[in-house]
A and B are shown apart, each in its own frame.
Chain A
Amino acid sequence: MTTPVQHPLLTIDNLNVSFSTPRGPVHVVRDLSLALAPGQALALVGESGSGKTVTARTLVGLNAPNARVTADRLDVLGQDATRLSERRWRALRGKDIGYVLQDALVSLDPLRTVGQEIDEALRAHGVRRAERQERIHAALRDAGIPDPEVRARQRSNELSGGLRQRALIAQATVLDPRLVIADEPTTALDATVQAQILDLLAGLKEQGRGLILISHDLAVVSRLADEIAVMQHGRIVESGRAAEVLGNPQHAYTRQLIDAVPSAAGRGTRLSSVPRVAVGTAPSRTSAFAAEAPALEARTLVKTYPAPDGARRTVVDHVSFTLQPGTTLGIVGESGSGKSTTARIALGLTEPDAGTVTLGGLSWMGHPDGPGIVTEAVRRPHRPDIQLVNQDPLSSFDPRFSVQRVLTDALDAGAVGSPHEREDRAAELLGQVGLPLDLIHRRPLTLSGGQRQRVAIARALALQPRVLLLDEPVSALDVSIQAQVLDLLADLQEQLHLSYLFISHDLGVIHHVADHVLVLKDGRVVESGDASTLFVAPTTAYTRALLDAVPAMPVRTSSAAGSTRTAHTSEGAA
């Protein structure tokens, strides 16, 4: 390490990356300039397809063979990266640059132990056998993994999401690299785990390493980044000190990303600039659903599953809640808290061991009064009243179906109109969720994540439900797309008087949408109450810990909203 500390780790001038495809070159990164000093963290922020991952992969020489990289200057750790041979790249990778791959949950080889994974990096760089074991354990310990000797012998399926992400970070840092690149390191992790990982990355920075952090979520990077570069369509549209970019954003797209973070905006504010949808007059369906009764009410639900050791594990433990018509009840909890099982019981798909559910005053699940349970035959006519929108809409579409068929099939299930009328209604439904009509003959597989979720919402609306069960509906979406979908859901709720049971691990989202909140932990209700009071004055330590873990913007946009709005219009005119 002869490089002086003040020497920059990265100097990039006018980087361009394009991919040659059968349909001609596709430019993914355009005229990108960056610099990074040791001990600094730079965040590349933008939505999917903005070129941030390609930029990161260029810095470790891992682009696809059809990539064309040009730059006026591309210095990585003092070497001209445009001229590096594959051999030289291999020497840099792992040793001087640690790369933490996207998708922590699937990036580890399921057939090898964590120790073997890390050992590979050490062997590739010729570390002596005697030293390797000790360094593996040290790296795991530094990454905050308890009992590294035990964990090193485990495979990825034996580790939780947070531990897997830590193992990946241990793998990337075991050779003590000067530069660490982390691609979406906290996506798909629970809020408290996310906070721990961010703290771990902050520790790396304090040790004097350079850190490049890639994310679609400004709130996540705001906690850690010294500099932020906002990318859109392959260009950096705004960059600068983190506090300045977040506190006084100059570019409209940056402001849009800041506004899209649901934790920063209160209930009732719009997160995106998408115009409101107008719901046409739909033919109203007759239903036994009592409008004045609670839309959905659960009483002391209990559900146990047999555990491998023969005992029974209680997944849902005396959970009760009431969803009032036209309101949103948010259910918060981390993985394994029982929220999905609760959702399945509410949806009438899983029979509870004890407890009842009523839907609009009707007995829906469990033993209503005395012996006997509500049978599927009794439930079936009322099924249209409650519909599900889940995290992965694609899996909920019959793979044979086009968008149109998805919608007409749902209408057919409710015996709505003639085939011709159903096609008209399908088109109407697409309009209701803000999708253009020309998508109607596409396969859901060819749509973007946000579009798929809109189709799923359209299908859920097809039979005019009273209750929508939204199970992590925006968790797989970029923040900016999430903002659009949340706005759409708010519009639909207002105009169709829908009741939402909204399940999420993301407190920011729940804060934005929910009137009432239920906090679940290990199958039990830890705390419940009005969103306004629960978020301001949580009574349990667990809820407080959850709230503390929510990545919050250092600068509240609400206070600066007035001034930024004027800046927005004047800039727009200029």
Chain B
Amino acid sequence: MSITLNPNSDTGTTASAPGTPEPPRRTRTGAVRFVRNTPIGVWVAAAVLTFLVLAAILPSVFLQQDPFEIDPANAFAAPGAGHPFGTDQNGRDVFSRVIAGTGQSLLLGLAATAIGLLLGGLLGITAGISGKWVDSAICRFVEILFAFPGLLLALIVIAVSGTGVVTAALAVGVGTAPGYARMLRTQTLQVVAAPYVETALSLGRSRSHILWHTIVPNVARPLFVLVTLGIGQAIVWASSLSFLGLGAQPPAAEWGAMLADGRNYLQVAWWIAAFPGIFITLAALTTTVVGHHLQRRLEAEV
């Protein structure tokens, strides 16, 4: 072994020196490590989620029958050959209705999360970058909102603007906004205090450039994870509103509405309520599992 220290030892050219583990090579083994580091449960959740997304985008691929076609002669048919999830009190195919409802449920979840993030982001980021007075004003406002349970906040919105799918999304969005506002404010405060923001300033960047090109992107970095975690919650809330008759209205094929519908027949035909309920759970569970996994991966990277 050469006894003189390589002059470039600090520059990484002698990575093969004994005792120095090689730096991880992302490109070559990245895919292999990704597969190996992902637990089987996450794969199952991802597969179910993919199925749900496909059903939402292309319901016709899975639809066997018209979800609205009434067939009174065939009402309350138990799950079996022609109807894998059975039929409801009007003889409508539960499987087709569940599939048809996927799109609306997922869309409601997405839209509600987007609205919540937008409102929360506006409040949180403004609070984080503003001075003491604006910050504490927004904080107090958010704390007042926190005093109400999220669902109650959503009910207030519905009480003001009436029932319907769009209102339901807005209502759930408003209900989740305080949580996002608080998280994004903390994140913003951290980013604003980071030395790289000052570095941008001392390179001669303007404040608006720093806001849009340094602060906002770095605050938004963990948002992807936040969104996947939030969608699950939003789906459950939106379904709850529909279940209460405040969101999607019958005969719409929406999981919460179907659940409410089937509740009356739970003793004679459990399947009418059970399958929409299972799908609500699946949607919430899979988005949360995948979101948690992404969160862990991202945190490990940072």
Contacts and interface: CB of A to CB of B under 8 A. Distances in A.
Nearest to B26: A446
Interface string B194-225: 11101111111111000000100110010000
Contacts of A232: 5
B195 A414 contact: no
Nearest to B301: A445
Interface residues of B, number: 36
Interface in A376-411: 376, 380-381, 383-384, 386-388, 390, 392, 395-400, 410
B19 A26 contact: yes
Contact of B11 (A51, A381, A435): A435
B196 A273 contact: no
B147 interface: no
B124 to A, nearest CB: 19
A273 B5 contact: yes
B203 A414 contact: yes
B11 A233 contact: no
Contacts of A27: 18-19
A13 B194 CA distance: 49
Nearest to B10: A450
A386 B202 contact: yes
A448 B22 contact: no
Contacts, number: 118
B19 A49 contact: yes
Interface stretch (A82-90, A193-201, A251-259): A251-259
Contacts of B267: none
Contacts of A450: 10-11
Is the interface on chain A under 10, 10 to 19, 20 to 34, or 35 or more residues?
Answer: 35 or more
Given A395-B195, A395-B196, A463-B203, A252 B4 contact: yes
A481 B18 contact: no
A396 B193 CA distance: 11
Majority DSSP secondary structure for residues of A touching B: mixed
Contacts of A463: 203-204
Contacts of B17: 233
Majority DSSP secondary structure for residues of B touching A: loop
A451 B19 contact: no
A252 B5 contact: yes
Nearest to B206: A380
Contacts of B4: 252-253, 256, 273, 572
A390 B195 contact: yes
Contacts of A362: none
A392 B17 CA distance: 26
Given A23-B21, A49-B19, A234-B18, A439 B203 contact: no
Contact of B19 (A234, A386, A434, A435): A234
B23 interface: yes
Interface centre among B10, B13, B204, by most A CB within 10 Å?
B10
Contact of B196 (A23, A384, A397, A454): A397
A484 to B, nearest CB: 5
Given A275-B7, A395-B194, A448-B10, A233 B18 contact: yes
A398 B19 contact: no
A354 interface: no
Contacts of A410: 203
Interface string A314-353: 0000000000000000000000000000000001110000
B11 A451 contact: yes
B227 to A, nearest CB: 18
A496 interface: no
Interface centre among B18, B200, B206, by most A CB within 10 Å?
B18
Given A49-B20, A398-B196, A383 B7 contact: no
Contacts of A459: 199
A555 interface: no
Contacts of A380: 204, 206
Contacts of A397: 196, 199
A57 interface: no
A538 B218 CA distance: 49
A439 B3 contact: no
A450 B7 CA distance: 13
B131 interface: no
B202 A347 contact: yes
A148 to B, nearest CB: 37
A252 B3 contact: yes
A223 interface: no
Nearest to A231: B19
Contact of B195 (A28, A396, A480): A396
A400 B217 contact: yes
A30 interface: yes
Nearest to A344: B198
B5 A414 contact: no
B3 A251 contact: yes
Nearest to B204: A383
B302 interface: yes
Q: Which 10 A-B residue pairings sit nearest by Cβ, starting from the closest?
A: A383-B204, A413-B203, A450-B10, A234-B19, A395-B195, A396-B195, A274-B7, A396-B199, A398-B196, A252-B4
14 contacts: A26-B19, A30-B19, A233-B20, A252-B4, A256-B4, A274-B10, A383-B203, A395-B194, A397-B199, A398-B200, A399-B221, A400-B221, A410-B203, A436-B13
Given A23-B22, A380-B204, A387-B203, 19 more contacts: A49-B19, A49-B20, A233-B1, A233-B18, A253-B4, A274-B7, A275-B7, A383-B202, A388-B198, A388-B199, A392-B195, A397-B199, A399-B218, A399-B221, A410-B203, A413-B205, A439-B11, A463-B203, A484-B10
